[in-house]
Structure 1
Amino acid sequence: MADGGEQRRRQDRFHGRIGTGDRPCAHPGCMEPGEFRVPGITRPGFDGPGEWRWMCLDHVRAFNAGYNFFDGMTADEIENAQRPFAGWERETRAFSTSAAGAGPRWADFVDPLDAIGARYAEARAARPDGRPLGEGDRRALQVLGLKADADLKAIRKRYTELVRRYHPDRNGGDRRHEKALQDVISAYTHLKAAPAFA
């Protein structure tokens, strides 16, 4: 029991302990378990993530103490890396102020990634006349079952068809389609006032 408690204390004591101790230390002649990961000979790059070696606590400390960031650099490269403002002299590109439209409103989305995706979807679902469609416009068109290239005449025609289909007076007083009717009216009201269809 004391042996298990000692091992648990060792595990909790050092940050970075990853291994379970089933690998031996990679240092030649060491019989301790390799619980810490260090970069191998092959570094991460185009061909893959590289390889790892597993070392015990003493040998990972020796590895870290001998690590040299500047290893393999020329004197000029070392000097450039050590300058206090290295990298700040490069000019950055300005963001374009003439980008197409202001993009979707963040408040229209629950997930910010949906808003970002909607920004790119605007480019894909552009109207033939070049007017941008907002996320609300697309949702309203979807409710009416229309595509992005629909004009105001097609929207009115579809609205009339759906109102006739869902209205309780046309269904013998049946109110089961009342929610669908409200959605159709809301979508039509939105599209009627949308700048893309003005």
Structure 2
Amino acid sequence: MPASRPYRHRPGSRFHGRVENSESRCTHPGCEAAGEFRAPAGRGPSFDGPGDWRWLCLDHIREFNARYNYFAGMTPDEIAEAQRPTAGWERETRAFAHGGADRPPSWSDFSDPLDAIGARFKRRMEEERGRKDGKPLSGKDRESLRVLGLDTNADRMGLRKRYSELVRRYHPDRNGGDRSHEAALQKVIAAYQQLKSSPAFA
């Protein structure tokens, strides 16, 4: 891969991420334009180092970004797992070397009388433990609840009420014909259909 000059972002620059005066060429087949934007290619980042990159011109980086989907190839349950804010925290990591210095304090050594540290994740951890009534929730159910902004213990009446609120918010007929919220409306409808037929809301 040809070397490129380090990216220097100028305040007010129109295109964030552009490497100006790049000596690379766009790697899109048949394109002769300058490759001024990096895009992931092939091997992703891992413990062994950063992943592979390729260089694209402005038109082709726009095309790449429009099609890019981090979750491509994942099952709904894998997507829900990857989106958890606590994902990865369960894995044990290697201890840092102390180099003769005192061992840093652990989280359990801190006094947190106002629950400033734990409160942030308390609700999400409660959601991941499941519903109070014991009814099962699939990964699709959890994702649909997030789309609607409902917690795991919502009932059927709360589901219908929230659905009605969001449909009124996003429907073009309630927004002077503005169709800019159609994508959000379709997600709301799909989430409602998923939960309406879920055992948790039967």
User: Looking at both structures, which has the greater relative contact order when contacts are Cα pairs under 8 Å and sequence separation is at least 6?
Assistant: 2
User: Could you say whether these structures have the same fold, taking a TM-score greater than 0.5 normalized by the shorter chain as the test?
Assistant: no
Q: TM-score, normalised by structure 2?
A: 0.40
